[in-house]
A and B are shown apart, each in its own frame.
Chain A
Amino acid sequence: MLRLAAWPLLALVLVALPHGLSFSQQEILVFLTINVLVVASYRLLTLTGEWSLGHVVIMGVGAYASALYSKKFGVWVPASMLLGAVTAALIAVLLSFPLFRMKGFYFLIGSFASGEIIRLLWKRFRDPFGGPKGLKLIEGMPDFSIGIWDFQFFEPVSYYYFAGTVVAICLWILWRIERSPVGLTFHAVHWQDRLAEACGVNLRAWRTLAFTVASGFAGLGGALLAHYIGTINPNSFDIEKMVFVLTWAIVGGTGTFYGPILGCVVLTVFNEIVLREMGFEQMRPLIYGAILIGSILFLPNGLESLVQKLVGRRRRVPGPAEIVGESAVK
């Protein structure tokens, strides 16, 4: 009964949320919404056990692509966002050929290197990427109205509703994937790749699948960002941003679906309330670095493990058996 009520209640809170906030806080809320999508897609990538340092650059690919489609070819913005996501996914497929010949360290360094190459290409080629200054005056979402409510998307509240809806749908899809046999196969690839291969799993194909899907959602996140802030440049997607994503994921804990989201929300709130209010905002990288190290050393399973301790549930990986509903095994 409580569970049934929980979702509508959460939705209500999320809808009401921006109205109690200041303008700048509403803007932060938009960024937070987008970041939730990025970090949740990052978790899908880590399901197969590989940690990429190129995820934020892939997000940038979605941002650049979507901005260029709307700018150069006049594509309707929502469509260009989708195309941006598809482009990011396609770039990921291309990158997977070199990258998935590597594992562990080499994958990490390889993903970092490919990300750097992409960023350098943006920097080097003024046409079409705008060089170091990047792209400006990116088209915003076209306004529209449904009866009583006018959506003007330069306003953070409107954009928050739009982005929130998109992100909610994406999270639902990510959740469906993870709790399906597909998700189980990802876990299998992670925990014992050789045994998985002996079960007929084409490791390369499945790693590529996770990487591609994750990259598509990250690209969509980038597109959502680009059309809101209206200007992007190569440094919007540098290693510092990647460290933020890593920190959210690790602080939250990558063992569960909600862990990274939790990490993202908690650290963003911490950042806004504690750091900004106390005037430590420019110490943010330092504090994030310290938090990152601290959580690896002292909280290896992330915040989620604290939550689970509180709720008193054991860490577990969800399986498809629960989705079918009835267990065939008594």
Chain B
Amino acid sequence: MIELLAQTGLNAVYAASYIALVAVGLVLIFGVMGVINFAHGELFMAGAYTVVALYASRDVPFILAVAAGLVFVGGLGLFMERTMFRPLRDNPLGGLVASIGFLMILQAAAAMGFGVRKEHIPPVTQQVIEFSEKVRLPMARLYVIVAAIVILLALWYFLKRTRFGWALRASAQDPEAAELQGISINQTARIAMFIGAAMAGIAGALTAPLVSVNPHMGHSVIVTAFIVIIVGGVGSLEGAVLASIAYALVHTFVTTFWDGVIADIVGLSLMLLVLIVRPTGLFGSADRA
């Protein structure tokens, strides 16, 4: 029993790490741009397909494929900012609906480019750390965990210690006052969109060999990310990280002891509950709904 708990805990840590990457990116975009990016799950998918296209099909080294995923998906983010979110800045609901349109485009593009079947990606490494006979952590999962921690720490440093980090936070808290300090909203929006999208892309790229890659994989990712950002308090990056961990624990344990669908229902109900208890103005100043 102890071993089962330990193994489930390890699985939860792994799940928490990539969920946190996705959710923190989503929060960053919402904080600075005031838009909920419905296509965020599809950005994750785009990252995964970059690995399919480069690593699985063309023998590009995995690490380079992941880097390419970061750049490509970050670029997609910049494209979305320029073509959709900037023209719709005064219409956040319009931005949201436009991102749903973009979701459809990415999904259909993936289906046309790669087919709707599940992709098989050769594992990066077969190594496994064995804590005991029943408690095992594949190296590939450890890479994801370590990468997530490094990326989140780097983001934290960027936001707290650098000029552009302050600019980003200032824009999120009071865009008008930020403008009065010489901070251009277009500039901070670009930065936030690139970082936010790239984090989803890198999460998708890193986990690609560990999950089944298919054009519809973004759906469960975005649902999870919504749960996490709402439970964590919209606009709070720390909250999103904590909620990722909490959600991953709950979801993994419920999946292990009941089943996956029940776990999804529990997660969604949790989110509705939070919305009921704190219907608006969930957290602080980045909240602009």
Chain A interface residues (CB < 8 Å from chain B): 51, 98, 101-106, 108-110, 112-114, 116-117, 120-121, 123-124, 239-240, 243, 246-247, 250, 282-286, 288-293, 296-297, 300
B-chain residues with CB within 8 Å of residue A106 when the two chains form the complex: 275, 279-280, 282, 289
**With A and B bound together, what is the CA distance between A282 and B269 in angstroms?**
34
Contact B271 A101, beta carbon cutoff 8 Å: no
Indicate if B109 sits at the interface (CB-CB under 8 A). Answer: yes
Contact A289 B265, beta carbon cutoff 8 Å: no
The secondary-structure label for the interface of chain B is helix
Indicate if B276 sits at the interface (CB-CB under 8 A). Answer: yes
Contact of A293 among B102, B230, B259 (CB under 8 A): B102
**With A and B bound together, what is the CA distance between A110 and B98 in angstroms?**
18
A-chain residues with CB within 8 Å of residue B284 when the two chains form the complex: none
**With A and B bound together, what is the CA distance between A9 and B141 in angstroms?**
67
Indicate if B6 sits at the interface (CB-CB under 8 A). Answer: no
B-chain residues with CB within 8 Å of residue A284 when the two chains form the complex: 108
In the complex, besides A114-B272, A289-B102, A290-B105, 10 extra interface pairs with C-beta distance below 8 angstroms are A51-B93, A105-B96, A106-B282, A113-B227, A246-B100, A289-B101, A292-B100, A293-B102, A296-B91, A296-B97
Provide 25 A-B residue pairs closer than 8 Å at the C-beta atoms, listed in order of the A residue. Answer: A51-B93, A103-B280, A105-B96, A106-B279, A109-B36, A113-B226, A113-B227, A116-B264, A116-B268, A117-B268, A123-B261, A124-B261, A124-B265, A243-B101, A250-B97, A282-B112, A283-B108, A284-B108, A289-B105, A292-B101, A293-B84, A293-B101, A297-B83, A297-B87, A297-B88
Contact B88 A104, beta carbon cutoff 8 Å: no
**With A and B bound together, what is the CA distance between A116 and B289 in angstroms?**
22
What are the 6 A-B residue pairs with the smallest beta carbon separation, nearest first?
Answer: A289-B104, A286-B108, A292-B101, A101-B279, A289-B105, A293-B101
Nearest residue (CB) in A for B106 is A289
- Contact flags B100-124 to A (C-beta < 8 A → 1, else 0): 1111110111011000000000000
Chain B interface residues (CB < 8 Å from chain A): 36, 83-84, 87-88, 91-94, 96-98, 100-105, 107-109, 111-112, 219, 223, 226-227, 230, 259, 261-262, 264-265, 268-269, 271-272, 275-276, 279-280, 282, 289
Contact of A246 among B87, B97, B230 (CB under 8 A): B97
Contact B101 A117, beta carbon cutoff 8 Å: no
A-chain residues with CB within 8 Å of residue B227 when the two chains form the complex: 113
